[in-house]
């Protein structure tokens, strides 16, 4: 029988409680600015849906860019390789909200996890489904088994109010013909997507299909084995932006962060993780979150390397 992850999680939570430097919550989205950086939760989900957790692992937080993994998977499942004509899969080496490469590269964003790339993916999903954010929410509810998951209207409104940069990205890409929906419609969908509140337990479970090589919680297939490998690979190389090299070095797993302080990670064939702590480093990744994942792979030896 495989060993329970519970003692490892408890050891990590104890270590994280003593962490002196915890970073600062994102304040460019006012609704996220008041989060307490001392909060910490972590969950591990096995392939069969067994979940272990510690600290605030059942507390809902703002998922933000973590959702970019799920919209990528949902788009890839529907559109297949044609998606890659609209978004690349190379690390950008730039901040998540950067505009600089877009003009040199004719409105094709470097990867699906920077904001520009996520806008393209949501645009494609909305074109195909007519309801990108609803489709994402349905998926997260089904995979987590939590029907209470929903949009946080205050967070979505707060982002809309401060949405100039994402609006600039959307309009700029539209000028190259790489956005098909009206930009205001796309922004509404994207901000709803980012506003979804979910816990570490919910997100660890929802990420399970990436550890099960494309198979959903109900046994049906979302992605081919090859597509699941591709999403994991893009998470490893691009999921933490201009810190992806350091994340791979420290954690050694495909991972995706959000400015709400959440990070999901995948041990293919074994388990999925989600950690949450709202204090961020200057690149937008949770300080305690990265440290906790670093400790998890170091203690357990579970990494892709
Ligand atoms: O569009 C934004 O800026 C946010 N809704 C999401 C950014 C984010 O989470 C980046 N992650 N580290």
User: Which tens digits make up the pLDDT trace of 63-103?
Assistant: 999 999 999 999 999 999 999 999 999 999 888 999 999 99
Task: Kindly tell me if the per-residue pLDDT of 281 is higher than 90.
Answer: yes
**Pocket perturbation via mutation, ligand 1, pick of 97, 191, 192 by most ligand atoms within 8 A of CB:** 97
Q: Of ligand 1's atoms, which has the minimum distance to the CA of residue 65?
A: 9
Q: How far is the CA of 4 from the centre of ligand 1 (A)?
A: 33
**Ligand 1 residue neighbourhood (C-beta within 6 Å):** 64-65, 96-97, 115, 159, 166, 194, 257-259, 284
Q: pLDDT at position 208, please?
A: 98
- Tell me the CA–centroid distance for residue 207 and ligand 1, in Å: 19
The pLDDT value given to residue 1: 40
| Cβ burial 263-297 (10 Å sphere, 16+ → b, else e) | bbbbbbeebbbbbbbbbbbebbbbbbbbbbbbbbb
Q: How many angstroms separate the CA atoms of 248 and 196, rounded? A: 27
What digits encode the pLDDT tens for the residues 193-226?
999 999 999 999 999 999 999 999 999 999 999 9
Paired tokens of 190: 């994207």
Query: Residue of the nearest CA to atom 1 in ligand 1?
Result: 115
**Vertex 190: Cα angle to 186 and 193 (nearest 5):** 140
Centre of ligand 1 from the C-alpha of residue 260, in Å = 8
Mean pLDDT of 108-123: 97
Return the H-helix or E-strand segment holding 255.
Answer: strand 255-257
Nearest to 5 by CA among 200, 147, 225, 197: 200
Residue 239 has pLDDT above 60, yes or no: yes
Mean pLDDT of 155-173: 97
Q: Rounded CA gap, 288 and 298, in Å?
A: 15
Sheet holding 271-276, edge to edge: 51-55, 41-46, 271-276, 262-267, 255-257
Using CB atoms within 10 A of its CB, is residue 30 exposed (0-12), middle (13-18) or buried (19+)? middle
Helix spans in 43-131 (H): 67-79, 100-104, 115-129
Atom of ligand 1 nearest to the CA of 283: 12
Nearest CA to ligand 1 atom 11: 258
* Ligand 1 midpoint to CA 264 (Å): 14
Residue boundaries of the structural domains of the chain? 6-300
% of the chain at pLDDT higher than 90: 96
Helix locations, 88-220, DSSP H:
100-104, 115-129, 132-144, 153-161, 164-175, 183-195, 200-206, 208-211
Architecture of domain 6-300: 3-Layer(aba) Sandwich (3.40)
């Amino acid at each position: 029988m495989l060993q329970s992850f519970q003692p490892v999680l408890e050891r990590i939570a104890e270590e994280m409680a003593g962490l002196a430097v915890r970073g600062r919550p994102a304040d460019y989205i006012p609704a996220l600015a008041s989060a307490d950086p001392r909060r910490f939760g972590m969950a591990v989900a096995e392939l069969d849906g067994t979940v272990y957790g510690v600290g605030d692992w059942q507390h809902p937080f703002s998922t933000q860019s973590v959702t970019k993994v799920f919209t990528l998977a949902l788009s890839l499942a529907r559109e297949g390789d044609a998606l890659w004509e609209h978004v690349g899969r190379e690390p950008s080496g730039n901040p998540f909200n950067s505009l600089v490469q877009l003009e040199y590269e004719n409105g094709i964003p470097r990867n699906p996890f920077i904001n520009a790339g996520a806008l393209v993916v949501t645009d494609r999903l909305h074109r195909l489904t007519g309801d990108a954010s609803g489709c994402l929410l349905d998926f997260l509810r089904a995979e987590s088994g939590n029907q209470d998951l929903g949009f946080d209207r205050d967070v979505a409104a707060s982002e809309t109010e401060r949405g100039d940069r994402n609006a600039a990205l959307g309009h700029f890409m539209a000028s190259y013909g790489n956005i098909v929906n009206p930009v205001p419609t796309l922004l509404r969908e994207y901000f709803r997507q980012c506003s979804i509140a979910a816990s570490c337990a919910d997100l660890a479970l929802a990420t399970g299909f990436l550890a099960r090589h494309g198979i959903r919680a109900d046994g049906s297939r979302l992605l081919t084995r090859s597509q699941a490998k591709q999403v994991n690979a893009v998470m490893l190389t691009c999921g933490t932006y201009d810190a992806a090299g350091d994340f791979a070095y420290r954690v050694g797993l495909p991972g995706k962060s959000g400015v709400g302080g959440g990070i999901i990670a995948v041990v293919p064939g074994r388990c999925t993780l989600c950690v949450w702590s709202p204090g961020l480093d200057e690149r937008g990744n949770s300080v305690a979150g990265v440290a906790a994942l670093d400790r998890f792979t170091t203690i357990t030896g579970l990494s892709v390397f």
